Amino acid sequence: MTAFPKSSALMQRATDFLGSEYAILCGAMSWVSERNLVAAISNGGGFGVIACGAMTPELLDAEIAGTKTLTDKPFGVNLITMHPMLFDLIDVCAKHGIGHVVLAGGIPPKGSVEAIKAFGAKVLVFAPTLALAKKLLRSGADALVIEGMEAGGHIGPVATSVLAQEFLPSLKEDHLVFVAGGIGRGEAIAGYLEMGAAGVQLGTRFACASESIAHPAFKQAFFRANAREAIASVQVDPRLPVIPVRALKNKGTEEFTAKQREVAQMLDDGKVDMAAAQLEIEHFWAGALRRAVIDGDVESGSIMAGQSVGMVKEEEPAAQIIQSLMQECEAALGRRERIEE
Ligand SMILES: Cc1cc2nc3c(=O)[nH]c(=O)nc-3n(C[C@H](O)[C@H](O)[C@H](O)COP(=O)(O)O)c2cc1C
């Protein structure tokens, strides 16, 4: 008998699919979602996901093996679609019998979904529009993650609440949809489950769990920050595209704006060509997340965080965070039932 009967009933489809106790995914966070956090999430009843990021196949191999020494619960692997060795990374997942692969960062390249399904794993994909979601689900994806602009890291332009209203009514009957972005408490989980979500994905809320290897300075920055400090990167010049990333405001944010102005001026003066100028902007943040998470450089590093960062106040074990979320979710569903009586 579960301690959270109402929540568990609404989460049943996703927990059957994931093999976890609760339908709470910890979204992959580059540098943060390594063996320790991933295992802690899965041991705590959630579903941990390794962030492969720019890892080589050898590093991913070691990370999966390391995670397996820390948990015997299921966990997934998140692969970035534009990784030049995507198919080798898929082979590594196959070798380890990984049950769930999340394809992030763009439309899955031809053959990738098939290659994952060929070794029996389930594929989760992101989709920015309903039309694309339907197409991906038709062509073999097993589940969908919709992620709103409240989230930390790379973001789209639409809020989670709007995406949920747009996607869930037409997909909830036949498909598994996980809602991500801006979820900090269980009341919000209850709301999305009632709207037809199969489960949820959180990142920011878990980034500073006790088991997270993020640098103490990174964690302190999270504990101090409030929602309005988690801002999306701003594009200064339409000629120099900037992929929006939500992170805590710091010196690096200001320098990035200055850099864009400087490069735009160099373009105007004919000192650089367009390709070189765009590359300079693209490369500005290279290695910046690692600098913040691993080295603790919270001045010039990228402290990726979602708007729910204001609800992260202290280090807590991942299992405790999951229990709090479940308690809040169950209590919210219980209050609704009393209203109905
Ligand atoms: C520090 C950080 C790093 C992230 N890195 C990745 C990543 O490498 N791949 C990915 O698909 N999502 C990444 N994300 C997004 C998370 O997986 C998750 O979807 C998101 O954090 C959910 O929204 P929330 O932050 O509002 O909870 C990252 C998020 C954060 C906060």
The atom number, within ligand 1, closest to the CA of 28 reads 17
Alpha-helix residue ranges (DSSP H) falling in the chain: 5-18, 35-43, 57-70, 86-95, 112-118, 130-138, 160-171, 186-194, 204-207, 216-224, 251-268, 274-283, 288-293, 318-340
Say how many C-beta atoms besides its own lie within 10 A of residue 258's C-beta: 10
Pocket test for ligand 1, best of 24, 25, 30 (most atoms within 8 A of CB): 30
Q: Is 86 in the pocket of ligand 1 (CB under 6 A)?
A: no
CB under 8 Å to 173, separation ≥6 — which residues?
Answer: 196
Report the nearest-CA residue for atom 8 of ligand 1.
Answer: 30
Length of the chain: 341
Say how many C-beta atoms besides its own lie within 10 A of residue 322's C-beta: 27
Q: Which domains does the chain have, with CATH numbers?
A: 5-214+311-340 (3.20.20.70), 226-304 (no CATH)
Query: What is the rounded CA–CA span in Å between residue 73 and residue 39?
Result: 8
Query: What is the rounded CA–CA span in Å between residue 150 and residue 300?
Result: 22
Q: Is 209 in the pocket of ligand 1 (CB under 6 A)?
A: no
Query: What is the rounded CA–CA span in Å between residue 202 and residue 184?
Result: 8
| Bridge pairing between strands 47-51 and 199-202 | unpaired
Q: What is the DSSP string of 104-129?
A: ESSSPPTTHHHHHHHTT-EEEEE-SS
Which pLDDT belongs to residue 336?
82
Quickly tell me which residue has 């039309």 as its tokens.
131
CA of residue 199 to ligand 1 center, whole Å: 16
Residue 82, exposed/middle/buried by CB under 10 A (0-12, 13-18, 19+)? Answer: exposed
- Compute the radius of gyration of the chain from its Cα atoms: 20
Partners of 143 in the β-ladder: 124, 176
Phi-psi region of 115 (alpha: psi -120 to 50; beta: other; left: phi over 0): alpha
DSSP 8-state symbol, 309: G
The atom number, within ligand 1, closest to the CA of 307 reads 26
Which pLDDT belongs to residue 286?
86
CA of residue 51 to ligand 1 center, whole Å: 9
Query: What is the rounded CA–CA span in Å between residue 247 and residue 235?
Result: 14
Report the nearest-CA residue for atom 2 of ligand 1.
Answer: 29
Q: What residues in the chain have per-residue pLDDT under 70?
A: 1, 337-341
Alpha carbon of residue 281 to chain centroid: 24
Quickly tell me which residue has 């020494």 as its tokens.
69
**Residue 79's closest CA among 49, 99, 58?**
49
Q: Is 306 in the pocket of ligand 1 (CB under 6 A)?
A: yes
Query: What is the rounded CA–CA span in Å between residue 134 and residue 127?
Result: 9
Report the Cα–Cα distance between both ends of the chain, in Å, rounded.
24
Q: Is 27 in the pocket of ligand 1 (CB under 6 A)?
A: yes
Structure tokens at 171: 């997909």
